[in-house]
Structure 1
């Protein structure tokens, strides 16, 4: 069995993660740009006076409309991925992101800016694609690059926001900050012609030779010169696809079948639970939070930059732990620790917000960093989990529906945040304590662990019939190849003899 992954496979996963970076950068850029005085001045926003309430509503709308656009994009990407393929969908969404980013950068009014935020469709297909090109034993590390690059996008937007703060030209200050949104999706779009199509998509659509060729290239290894691992995976995918064709259901049918219904509920729940920790509220309103603790100007932007960079490092740790610890344990530890950190942060804000108490404000910053340490190193496993639990025939629809949970909860939490902070202040953080702790119980007792099995074998956890096990196929293929070398014919893979004396894998 293949014990590692080759450089080509890793390069494909990392390059595709530019779409994840785009999501993180575009989502978090609003936290940076609202820390730039010129942005407030140009659009007529203020934190004081008669227009303060209106300004808070507009900032809330910037987050809410972005989430609304993401929700529309998430619900449509499932259809795109199944109709056009994974590769073409990535290209289309990247093109859309480039156009929308140009629109926001060139905004001349608050209305134009809000429209641009709405048009920024999120590239949610990246973890789906990454899961379909990754070997089972390294899938956690490889799909974990989605969360790592996503938070690198957060960090990138924070450092760019800090750099732009010192620009002397007011227009350059905020427009340059927003213009950097264009780079990552443009690079992915230009380089995407060298990306292979997902082998599972190819096999599902009857393009067997292309699918096998992609698998051999993805999993080639000096320790496996005969490509037995790729051939075993090809046979497993092919058989499972043929078996699953008899199980395909309509959208309504997905909810009637216990196995597919459980998958949909698990996928939607796990990512909604992650957002219920308050991670995006804390990130996107962090500048306002620091202001409440008496930290303003470039110092607030510097803290935001360090915070998001630390989060990216913790996401890398999460990716390295996924295949060793497992998905469920990491999520439970991460969510529990994050909730406890928020409870401490809430107490600090309630006691010291608006004061000059250096010790109290210092602890406020400490608990924010403790929160993201737990969340990023644990709960970000949800991105890998939702990409694994669906079979090929419904993976695009399932991931799309699951990711809609992210935008639905984000729309609720970030949309209400401005008004909630203005009306009830620190009490709003109580939501991010009690809801996550309730979610921990559901994750631990209800969600099955997916670490280890291939994507096809995960179906067993949801009561599906599995055509073949990868290790069994791999051992049979090795036996077949060894026997062929010895001049002995083996028919252990439901094969049939050909006239030339070689074996042939039956196409069901």
Structure 2
């Protein structure tokens, strides 16, 4: 396994500024609705349906903007690698558009630069960076609760500008992804970037990097034969299957209730009998637990597997949501402090469990696409995410006020349905190079890497590909694992791909 160098750490840190920007930008309105000064400034009564409509509209337009921002990043990635409440809502729309682009671009980049056996770990930085943004914003809100009423909610909105500015300043130091460079016929530059990113002191000859470079070049050359376009995604069976599963899996994430619940947590905590600063403190604890669990999942996602976490996670979430519904049906609106405290505990257990399925869905949906379609595929997936967020956010403030605990039953049912679909249709991608994931969808895999990642299985084909990858890369490739004359090793690996194990 390649070690993380200072260069890698710097590249990942810069990209995480983008993820942090999304997390902070998303969370800033969640904390805003927990500040009394916000309601007084806009002359809103937190208990009225009018205020619920304003909150729903503000969150909905954020997700509307983010949905189209997620789509807008595709052509860019392919080509270039207030005193009135209406003004606040409009600004939230434009903020959503920009953050939607970031939301889709971060996993795209991290998946493309990660070594195969570390892809889950590195791609998991996407969700960790989001969580860090939530965490920082939540505790800033607690810290300024007793400040000037206007600064209570305007301060975090202003601080949301800092990380995008840092990203703007540091982004020129980050290289383009090797796969994009190869796709645009810049192979030498691609090799230099790949070698620097994947260099391992235990592999002084960079045999792993040579093998991966060879595989990427050959697969990209093969993929060039495909017609590239949005219509082709839904015309070609293997691409259509990818698109439908990708959009489903990402849509399933907000279907767990996470967006509807987290967007209005301060209000939910208020409904559970907490007042003053306590709803914001509870939200801070929520984000702390979630971000901490994101760190844990970084360690296990490449060991346990994406599919395993998803298959087990959704049923557990369904059970937790059922328990929450039963508890709130009995204790919501009462003075039973023990019962209300139990509701709080299960909300915290819910976010801990959710973090086990959050990253695997993002990783899976980002890694299954061929290079020519990755930006478009990720755009579709995250467009589906924000459509789901829009669907579940728009009625949430009113719904939690009117039907209360019954909302959790809706989310429980959705978790059961999504879990069943995942069980039957989502295959494991753990540990496989992205170029070999084509086999899961019936596409041709041009070459396979050996188990140790330092060579190419189909050694007999290497003399035919020197013109594509360069003689120096071919000469470096080794194949420590024995290659049988009848090709059984290749067929075994192809069978493994088809079975998704």
Q: Does the alignment reach a TM-score above 0.5? A: yes
The answer to whether residue 303 in structure 2 is matched with residue 324 in structure 1 is yes
Work out which of the residue numbers 56, 70, 86 in structure 2 matches 1:60: 56
Q: CA 1:455–1:479 in 2, change beyond 3 Å: closer, same or farther?
A: closer
Q: Secondary structure at the match of 2:160?
A: helix
Counterpart residue number, 2:13 = 14
1:282-321, CA deviations, whole angstroms, 9 ceiling, x for partnerless residues?
Answer: 1111111111111011111111101111000111111211
2:204 aligned partner: 225
* Residue in 2 that maps onto 1:100: none
- Pairs within 5 Å for 1:287-302: 287-302=266-281
Q: Which residue, out of 405, 423, 427, partners 2:384? A: 405
Question: Corresponding residue for 1:70?
Answer: 66
- Please give the alpha-carbon distance, in whole angstroms, between the structure 1 residues aligned to 2:142 and 2:24: 14
Report the CA distance shift for 1:225/1:416 in structure 2 as closer, same or farther (over 3 A).
Answer: same
2 CA distance for matches of 1:450 and 1:43? 49
Say yes or no: does 1:382 pair with 2:368.
no
| CA RMSD in angstroms, aligned pairs only | 2.1
Q: Is the 8 A contact 1:337 1:374 kept in 2?
A: yes
Map 1:30-69 to 2 at 5 A.
Answer: 30-48=29-47, 52-69=48-65
Among 189, 195, 201, the alignment partner of 1:216 is: 195
- Cα distance in structure 2, aligned partners of 1:318 and 1:383: 13
- Structure 1: segments with no counterpart, 5+ residues: 86-106, 481-489
Conservation of the 8 A alpha-carbon contact between 2:179 and 2:216: yes
1:404-434 Cα distance to aligned partner (Å, 9 max, x none): 1110010010111122223322212211100
Length, aligned pairs only: 467
Using a 3 Å threshold, how does the CA distance of structure 1 residues 359 and 473 change in structure 2: closer, same or farther?
Answer: closer
Between the aligned partners of 1:317 and 1:476, the Cα distance in structure 2 is 32
Decide whether the 8 Å contact of 1:491 with 1:503 is kept in 2.
no
User: Do the aligned partners of 2:11 and 2:174 also contact (CA within 8 Å) in 1?
Assistant: yes
5 Å matches for 1:26-425? 26-48=25-47, 52-85=48-81, 107-120=82-95, 121-122=98-99, 123=102, 124-167=104-147, 169-425=148-404
Report the alpha carbon displacement of residue 229 of structure 1 after superposing the two structures with TM: 1.6
1:74 CA displacement? 0.6
Determine if contact 1:22/1:150 at 8 Å carries over to the other structure. yes
Give the TM-score taking structure 1 as reference length.
0.88
**Retained in 1: the 8 A contact 2:447–2:456?**
no
Indicate conservation of the 8 Å contact 2:111/2:123, yes or no: yes
Tell me: CA distance 1:209–1:334, structure 2 relative to 1, closer, same or farther (3 Å).
Answer: same
Q: Within 2, Cα distance between the matches of 1:395 and 1:173?
A: 41
Find the residue that maps to 1:223 and give its secondary structure. Answer: coil
